[in-house]
Structure 1
Amino acid sequence: MKYIVVDLEMNPVAKEYKEERRISSMEVIEIGAVVLDESFLVLGEFKTLVKPRYNSEIYKKYETLTGISTQMVSGAPDFATAYEMFVNWCESYGDEYEVYAWSENDYNQIVAEMDQKKYTNEAKKAALAQWKDFQKEYTEKLGLERIMSLQKALDYAGIAFEGRMHDALCDARNTAELFAIVRNEERCNVVLKSVMEALRPKKVEGTLGEMFDWGKLLAQGA
């Protein structure tokens, strides 16, 4: 079994494409992924930019966020080509693999964009059956009741983010590091302890009587 950890970066669909925006308001502009072996060691990496169909520019906000400019994606493959490049790369490591992303957002984006762009390659679509939500696994594994951002999850695990945030490959690398910890029972127990200590309510020292001067409070209310 191989484990693929993937991340996507996106840019909004331009407002004039009203019908397309109803299906998906965003388009993928970058795919980054890391493949791990059964011992959770890195075997390889994947990265490609993606040229959006329904926007002629990368908006400044998203360029600042991702480091991806309009010029950078001008010669990039389109969504269908980039997605198939990614699936072919996954399959190059064998038939037995699972794909993990932080939250369901990336999976939902791929599905919506396939619908938006009328993607019909059923053989490549089948790869989506391998996708799993690592954010959900992380929160359930550690017994947390609420989901958290990747950055906070890394902080609790004692992992310093390496590289540029919102670079798809850097995000995938850091998520893969967290994945390797969670899947290692001994290392996970260390993470569990630190997370629980961080989230446990602080103990209130002393009694209510020691905390408040009831006589003074009663006098004020008289």
Structure 2
Amino acid sequence: MHYVILDIEFNGRKFASDLPMEVIEIGAVRLDDKLQQTGTFTALIKPVYFAKLNKFIREKTGITQEEIDRAGRFPDVIASFIRWLGPPDSFLLVTWGGEDLKRIVLDTRMHRLDDSFWLAVRYYDLLKGFLRVHDLKSDVSVERALEMLGLPAGEHAHRALGDAVMTAGIFRTLHDRLDLDQFRQYKDTYSNAKERRMVKSAIRTMKLRGAEPDWDTIAEHFLKDKIDLANEKKRDELKAYFEAEINK
């Protein structure tokens, strides 16, 4: 069994749009069972939408427009990445949060490619593992985690391979304290972390007021006009999250 530490960059935007964000860079580090680095993968991807990078992305990542213009398209890059990875049962993917794998799945589907490889991949959310080890409730960045562990920050933060290398350092440091059996496989979600935190906060507020939390009250008084509860899949998912929190 070996480990692949993954990081991506995507062309986020600061304005509302129905057009999707896309992966523009993939970086990965392969570690053997002794946690020694045995390989790396790095590639830029030319997006279909927002192919002209905005100033925020250029300044954050250091990726130039010229580099993106020369980059390969997603289908070719992702095929090369899958060949580099090998069979999905031969490695454990390690990510900082669940967004990176989600973005790859969404882009795979956008390009009408087969997503079965990514649905079969097992991944471990190192951010959640870090929070459990340190008994923290709020998310932290890779840079903050490095600081807390006394590890040096890399020279190429906010580039996919540089961030993957830094994340690999965190993984090595915490490896013996992590329960790697708590891996996951990708599952479609319709709510985001912020919306789930709103549900959790509403439960806490009702309890502080001496009231017994119930879904209808939370939906009407805490979530209405803040979350699109007309979206049936999102509503059902948040209701299930509410019930799971109550049962804890």
- Taking structure 1 as the reference length, what is the TM-score of the superposition? 0.72
Q: Where does residue 95 of structure 2 map in the other structure?
A: 101
Q: Where does residue 83 of structure 1 map in the other structure?
A: 78
Q: Where does residue 160 of structure 1 map in the other structure?
A: 152
Q: Is the 8 A contact 1:28 1:50 kept in 2?
A: yes
**Is the aligned partner of 1:4 residue 2:7?**
no
Q: Is the 8 A contact 2:105 2:115 kept in 1?
A: no
**Is the aligned partner of 1:146 residue 2:138?**
yes
Q: For 1:107 and 1:115, how far apart are their aligned partners in 2?
A: 12
Q: Name the amino acid aligned to 1:58.
A: L
Q: For 1:75 and 1:14, how far apart are their aligned partners in 2?
A: 25
Q: Name the amino acid aligned to 2:60.
A: L
Q: Which piece of structure 1 moves more, 80-89 or 151-160?
A: 80-89
Length, aligned pairs only = 177
Q: Where does residue 132 of structure 1 map in the other structure?
A: 124
- Cα offset, 1:122, TM superposition: 4.1
Q: Name the amino acid aligned to 1:10.
A: F
CA RMSD of aligned residues (A): 2.3
* Identity over aligned pairs, percent: 29
Q: Where does residue 177 of structure 1 map in the other structure?
A: 169
Q: For 1:85 and 1:172, how far apart are their aligned partners in 2?
A: 18
Q: Is the 8 A contact 1:9 1:29 kept in 2?
A: yes
Q: Where does residue 42 of structure 1 map in the other structure?
A: 37
Question: Which structure has the larger Rg over C-alpha atoms?
Answer: 1
For CA contacts below 8 A with separation 6 or more, give which structure has more relative contact order. Answer: 1
Cα 1:14–1:158 change in 2 (3 A) is closer
Q: For 1:14 and 1:161, how far apart are their aligned partners in 2?
A: 27
Q: Name the amino acid aligned to 1:111.
A: V
**Is the aligned partner of 1:110 residue 2:104?**
yes
Q: Is the 8 A contact 2:45 2:73 kept in 1?
A: yes
Q: Is the 8 A contact 2:109 2:115 kept in 1?
A: no
Cα 1:97–1:15 change in 2 (3 A) is same
Pick aligned residue for 2:25 from 17, 26, 30: 30
Q: For 1:37 and 1:164, how far apart are their aligned partners in 2?
A: 23
Q: Name the amino acid aligned to 1:109.
A: R
Deviations 1:100-141 (A, max 9, x none): 11111112212222233322x2453345x3222110111112
- Cα offset, 1:87, TM superposition: 1.7
Q: For 1:149 and 1:114, how far apart are their aligned partners in 2?
A: 26
Q: For 2:118 and 2:61, how far apart are their aligned partners in 1?
A: 27
Deviations 1:11-31 (A, max 9, x none): 137989x55x2xx3x111110
Cα 1:146–1:15 change in 2 (3 A) is closer
Q: For 1:143 and 1:14, how far apart are their aligned partners in 2?
A: 33
Q: Where does residue 189 of structure 1 map in the other structure?
A: none
Q: For 1:29 and 1:47, how far apart are their aligned partners in 2?
A: 11
Q: For 2:9 and 2:73, how far apart are their aligned partners in 1?
A: 14
Cα 1:162–1:122 change in 2 (3 A) is closer
Q: For 2:173 and 2:33, how far apart are their aligned partners in 1?
A: 13
The 3-state SS of whatever aligns with 2:11 is strand
